[in-house]
Amino acid sequence: MVSRNPKNFEAGVTVTAEDIRDYYESNTEKFKEPKTVQARHILIKVDQNAKPEAVESARRKAEDVLKLAREGQDFAALARKYSEGPTKTKGGDLGTFRREAMVKPFADKAFSLKAGDISDPVRTRFGWHIIKVEKVNPAKTRSLDEARNEIEKTLQTDRARNLAYDEAENVYDATFEGRDLADIAQERNLKMMMTELFAQKKPPKGIKDAARFASVAFNLPDNEASDIQEFSDGYYLMEVVEKVPSTIPQLKAVEDRVKKDVIKEKQDAKALSEANRFLVELKNGQSFDAASQKFKSAPKKTGFFKRNDSIPNIGREPGIGQKAFKLSDHDRLPGEPLKGQKGYYVISLRERQESELNGFEEEKDAVTERLLQQKTFKTMDAWLKRIKNESQISIEEGFWQS
């Protein structure tokens, strides 16, 4: 295979002051920064479907705390003492945020205040909020000087990627002549990389996007170069030089491995059986602690974790995390034990903590730009392939005559 990494081309890219100015003037929308607010808050929780008397009780508690704040008591200290939200330990600090990052009633109030103002209690689906605005950053457009370094890096990255693609395309074009990829690489002074033999389910080490790499490789005909493949570290041209058919080895050659596999399967089946029995006890009304004593196991608490976080006392188990987030106050147990890397887990929901505010990805613009670039390259690549496949070559009569 031959790879062309855009990073290797960055040193050869020249970005002039005129290039930067042209980019800035053509993309002014990218450098507009909306108004943002830096604030703290104190949350008095009340369910959005709570009865009127519970809502009013929470509001009165918020009013009592508000009175203390307006009498001059430290707002952060009051938040640590009275707030019922996740930012309590940080003195209610929400940092700096855009309007769209917050639920509407909260955002409308926060963005109507001046620095130093403290709001009346504001109701959202989470409860009653008391908001203190600490700083207001007006909307602005970053100047050319402020954006210069960012633009230079963007242009350098884009041009390096284009150069890497062009180089990969030149190599790809040369393969149409029926020449071997290794010969083309040698002629162009490019490094030719060779993997060891590998199975599709065990891709070679040291390759990024290894699973996709293996999938492409296993679908290539022998001694035929692939189309240009875009991976996270650049563009690849791949060629299969050897395939070894799968075989079933003699039992004697793999006897030890078979024994280990059989033992592992029996252990797995036993663990699943025990986990199912434990889950049945819980579904029959046994408490988690009582069932744990009966099965001579020590239950562990995870504490709060986010949907895609590593789970305390379990580790990074996306499948278990997704199942955990489907549990509710009405259905605290999963339908079956959950398989993890270390065995089977029986989990039970203890407490759910809703996020205080509607999150909005701060990196949305950057992610959008990156995805747009990727789609642009893929679209261009597909178009070029289609043009090549549909092209016909004809030679005019007399063309070769001098």
* 53-67 pLDDT per residue, tens: 999 999 999 999 999
* Residue 396 burial (C-beta neighbours within 10 Å; 0-12, 13-18, 19+): exposed
Residue 188 has pLDDT above 70, yes or no: yes
Q: What is the mean pLDDT of residues 355-366?
A: 52
Cα distance between residue 115 and residue 137, in whole Å? 10
The least confident of 113-117, 247-251, 270-274 is: 247-251
pTM as predicted: 0.56
Q: Binning pLDDT at 50, 70 and 90, where does residue 354 land?
A: low
Q: Which domains does the chain have, with CATH numbers?
A: 1-34+143-246 (no CATH), 35-138 (3.10.50.40), 258-345 (no CATH)
Query: 59-64 long-range contacts, Cβ below 8 Å, gap at least 24?
Result: 59/121, 59/123, 59/128, 61/128, 62/121, 62/128, 62/129, 62/130, 63/121
